[in-house]
Amino acid sequence: MYRFVVVILLIFKCAILFGQEWSPQDSIRLSLKNKPHILIGGDQRNSFVTGIPVRIFGLRGGLDYGKFALLGAIYSANAEKIIKQGVSNSYDYLIFSGIGEYHWYNTHRFKISQTIQLGIGVVDLKEYDDQLGKNVLSTKMVIPVETGVSGNLRVLKYFGLTAGIGVRVSLTPGTYYSAPYYTYGLMVFTKDLIHDIKKAFN
C-alpha cells in the first residue's frame, strides 16, 4: 500500500504540473500578498503503526491566503500490538507539525489540495524484550515528513465531504511512524459560517 500511495501522488503531481500555466512558486508568491483569513479545524487520519491500523487525531489552525495556506498542527496517536497472550507492545505519539497547503484547484463547490508537512515530537514505547522477559520502556524523538492530496466537495452551504491519501516518512529510526495514511469524512466551511454570523449581528 505504501508504494501504491507514492505512485498515485507522483502521477497526480505530474498531471497537475503539466496542466498549469503558472508554477506553484509564482502562485504562492502572489497569494501571500492577499489578506489571509483564519483557518481552524480537525485533522483526523487513518494510518498504520507496525502494520496495525491506527487513528491519528489532530487539530490544526493557521492562515489561508487563498491559493496557499500556512498552518500549525498537533497530532496524537496510540497503538497496541499483541505479542503473545498477556504480552503487548504499545506506541504513544505526540507530534507538532508545520504545514504548507497548496490549492491546485479551488472553486466554490470543489477543491483539490496538496500538503507538505514537517513535524517533531516524541513516542513513548513499551516493547517486550525476549532476553529480559519483560517490557522495556523508552522515549524517542520523532521527526516525520509528510505529503498528501485531498479533495473537498461542498454539499450544503456550510457542510461538505472530504477525502484524501498521503504518505509519512519518519527521519528517526526505531519510531515505527513511517506509513501511508488516508482520510475521509465531513467538513465544515468555517470561513462562510463565520462570515454569515458576523453579517447577521451587524
DSSP string, 123-137: EEEEEEETTTTEEEE
Give residue-wise pLDDT tens across range 60-81: 999 988 888 999 999 999 999 8
Statement: residue 181 has pLDDT above 60: yes
Q: How crowded is residue 46: how many other Cβ atoms within 10 Å of its Cβ? A: 14
Each residue's pLDDT tens digit, 96-147: 999 999 988 888 889 899 999 999 999 999 988 877 778 899 999 999 999 9
Please give the angle made by the CA atoms of 81, 46 and 60, to the nearest 5 degrees.
120
Question: pTM value?
Answer: 0.81
Contact 183, 151 (CB under 8 A): no
What pLDDT, on the 0 to 100 scale, is given for residue 2?
56
Mean pLDDT over each residue of the chain, to the nearest integer: 85
Q: Does domain 2-201 bear CATH number 2.40.160.20? A: yes
Domain map (residue ranges) of the chain: 2-201
pLDDT in tens, 120-129: 999 999 988 8
